[in-house]
Amino acid sequence: MTNVLVAFAAVLIAGCGKGGLTPEVPKENLSIELLSDTVTPVAGKLSVEMILYGLSDVKSLTITKVNSAGENSVNYYPRVLRKNYTFNYTVLPTDEDSFKFCFVLTGLDGSQSEQASVVVDNTYSGDGPKYKSLTISGLKVVSRVTGHEDNGHDGLPAVSYEIANNTDTKFNVGGTDLGIVWEISEGRYGLFFGDTFGSDFTPNFKSPGPNGGSWRSNVLLFSDDTHLEDGLKISGAATDEWGNARQICYSAHVTNGRGDYTSIPTTAVHANGNEYVHYFNMRDWNGWITNFSGMYRSIDGGGSWEQVAGIRWGSDSFFGQGGFCNIGDGYVYMIGTQTGRSSKPKLARVVESSIENQSEYEFWTGTTWKKGDESAAVTLIDDIAGELSVEFLPEFNKWVILYFNAPRYEIVFRYADNITGPWSMPLTVASGSDYPQLYGSFIHPLSKKEGGKLYFIMSMWLPYNTYLMSLDIKGWR
């Protein structure tokens, strides 16, 4: 970075004169002595300190900002100038990583001082927030992830790339939703889906949603695709002896509203060398009444799974649904909600090696972490959230969250410098007016490596299948 900055600074200096620190000149003449030839903004602001000589004969100080777009000059007059003068500047969102200010004194007789210049190093230093804010734009339906490739008619979204995963014929996954994605190992990803139906599934345009046979409460597909710009390719599944994607989290499928109706995954994570999926066990969809929420573990990269005995959240828990995130700092974080789509998120964390021990979970009180007392958790984000996912984006040094807001019928994006908040105001990612019957928004971990591009899986009730979406993110200083 230093060599790049020096090279770019040389270009800037060449673009507006001799530049650099002022050469030795008699101090009684008009001259400018800069205390540094490079400055770095702090919290979005920079200060250029200088000594101005010959002020009694000065008509003006001309300050010229120079960047790749050209030059822009402003004159300052003696009433605001001092011998020991500091020029202050607030960095703009549009400012480049390196630009320059040039300074020239003009005397009452029209004479001018030697030009002095300072290069602004506007690259991120690692101290404090990298960007003050983020903006989103350019939402795209990249590709269909599940089911039969069928797009662009009767309310079905048109995709940018048809890649024909054909999970209906390959893995007996014709209709499904969610698509909770996490990184199992470098370049290998797991995707958990919810209630799943077989190859005989067909979209019902009059009565959207699940239909068909081969009902499984959840299935797990795999992807080795590390380039999502042209769609997400499915490479395999956790299958049964017939090659069909099998159910992972058990359910007895008692559908009378008084038993174990189905088991729905809500988030998954690689931690402590294993894979974990959090799920809730549904009693009755009418009122979204659950029996409990729990966890399954895989010690072989998603091939086989077993229930974790030490995790069991109650039916009214604020961590009945959630989003895991493991950034490698020794903790697994979980932003949770009550099951359903009518509560506000709260925050917990657990030491990675203790993820299977519920008594070791700590809850954010607004000022500190409190172990073993879920009731101490405060509202993290003052908004209604349904299916959610959370990720840390190193490119922007920000935490980001996506969630479904049912009252506004939209998928929402927020960001924060710290997972404990404060979180930004909501930004609408996608609305039901543009994507009828949308829900679910699960960030693909490759978003951490793409820089400026957020990928996520979105569900639509019609055709009761999932799509890879992309979103452009820009940081503003």
Q: Express each pLDDT in 33-75 by its tens digit.
A: 999 999 988 766 889 999 999 999 999 999 999 999 899 999 9
> According to the model, what pLDDT value does residue 178 have?
98
Q: Does residue 127 lie within any of the structural domains? A: no
- The CATH number covering residue 365 comes to 2.115.10.20
pLDDT at 13 over 80: no
Asked if 322 and 255 sit in the same domain, the reply is yes
Q: Quickly tell me which residue has 């979005």 as its tokens.
A: 44
Name the burial class of residue 270, with classes exposed (0-12), middle (13-18) and buried (19+) by CB atoms within 10 angstroms of its CB.
buried
Q: State whether 89 and 194 are in the same domain.
A: no
Q: Which of 121, 141, 159 is the last residue of a domain?
A: 121
Q: Is residue 216 part of a domain?
A: yes
Domain that residue 57 falls in = 2-121
Cβ neighbours of residue 449 closer than 8 Å, sequence gap 6 or more: none
Q: Which of 374, 270, 269 is nearest to 316 (CA)?
A: 374
466 in the same domain as 388: yes
pLDDT at 96: 85
**Which pLDDT score is estimated for 326?**
97
Is 325 a domain residue? yes
CA distance 100 to 72: 11
Q: How far is CA 287 from CA 210, 279, 392, in A?
A: 18, 18, 33
Q: Specify the 3-state DSSP secondary structure of 169.
A: helix
> Which residues on adjacent β-strands are paired with residue 29?
none
Q: Are residues 177 and 28 in the same domain?
A: no
Same domain, yes or no, for 451 and 338? yes
Domain's final residue, options 121, 151, 171: 121
Task: Evaluate whether residue 86 is within a structural domain.
Answer: yes
Last residue of a domain, one of 96, 121, 146: 121
Taking only the tens place, the pLDDT of each residue in 164-196 is 999 999 999 999 999 999 999 999 999 999 999
What is the mean pLDDT of the segment spanning 454-472? 97
- Greater confidence, 94 or 113? 113
Cβ contact 94:438 at 8 Å: no
User: What's the residue count for the chain?
Assistant: 477
Residue 88 and residue 209 in one domain: no
Structural domains of the chain, count: 2
pLDDT tens digits, one per residue of 416-433: 999 999 999 999 999 999
Q: Are 438 and 139 in contact (CB under 8 A)?
A: no
Share of the chain above pLDDT 90, in %: 84
The verdict on 156 and 59 lying in the same domain is: no
Q: Domain containing 25 — which CATH number?
A: 2.60.40.1930
- On the question of pLDDT at 143 being above 70, the answer is yes
Which of 423, 415, 340 minimizes the C-alpha distance to 378? 423
Q: Are residues 471 and 361 in the same domain?
A: yes
Q: Among residues 366, 385, 386, which one has the least CA distance to residue 376?
A: 366
DSSP string, 291-307: EEEEEEEESSTTSS-EE
Q: Pick the closest to residue 247 from 210, 286, 196 (CA basis).
A: 196
Q: How far is CA 20 from the centre of its chain?
A: 40
Q: Are residues 141 and 237 in the same domain?
A: yes
283 and 425 housed in the same domain: yes
Tell me the average pLDDT of the chain.
Answer: 92
Whether the per-residue pLDDT at 307 is higher than 50: the answer is yes
Considering the domain architecture, whether residues 157 and 231 belong to the same structural domain is answered as: yes
**What is the model's pLDDT at position 244?**
98
- Beta carbons within 8 Å of 225's beta carbon, 6+ residues apart: 189, 231, 232, 233, 235
- Are residue 193 and residue 108 in the same domain, yes or no? no
